[in-house]
Amino acid sequence: MADMAASPNGQTRHEPVIEVRDLCNRFGDHIVHEDLDLDLLRGEILGVVGGSGTGKTVLLRSIVGLNTPASGHIRVFGEDLIQLSARARSRIEQRFGVLFQGGALFTSLNLQENIAVPLIEHAGLKRPEAEKLARMKLALTGLPPDAAVRYPSELSGGMVKRASLARALALDPEILFLDEPTAGLDPIGAAAFDRLIVTLRDALGLTVFLVTHDLDTLYSTCDRVAVLSQRKVLVADTLEKVAATKDDWVQDYFNGPRGRAASYAFRDHLEKRNQEQ
What is the pLDDT, as a whole number, of residue 66?
A: 94
Instruction: For residue 165, give the nearest of 153, 151, 180, 154 by alpha carbon.
Output: 180
Q: What is the largest CA-CA distance in the chain?
A: 56
Q: Helices 111-121 and 127-140 meet at what angle, rounded to 10?
A: 120
Q: What is the mean pLDDT of residues 120-148?
A: 96
Domain segments of the chain as ranges: 105-172
Residue bearing the bigger pLDDT, 120 or 3:
120
Q: How confident is the model at residue 255 (pLDDT cuts 50, 70, 90)?
A: confident
3-class SS letters over 163-193: HHHHHHCCCCCCEEEEECCCCCCCHHHHHHH
CB 100 within 8 A of CB 179: yes
Instruction: For residue 36, give the nearest of 50, 53, 61, 19 by alpha carbon.
Output: 19
At 71 the three-state DSSP class reads: strand
Give me the chain's average pLDDT, please.
91
Does pLDDT of 277 surpass 70? no
Burial of 205-225, coded b for 16+ CB within 10 Å and e otherwise, reads: ebbbbbbbbbbbbbbbbbbbb
Q: For 213-226, what is each residue's pLDDT tens digit? A: 999 999 999 999 99
Q: For 187-211, what is each residue's pLDDT tens digit? A: 999 999 999 999 999 999 999 999 9
What is the pLDDT, as a whole number, of residue 261?
A: 80
Q: For 53-108, what is each residue's pLDDT tens digit? A: 999 999 999 999 999 999 999 999 999 998 999 999 999 999 999 999 877 899 99
Q: What is the mean pLDDT of residues 140-147?
A: 96
C-alpha span between 199 and 267 (Å, rounded): 19
**Stated pTM of the model:** 0.91
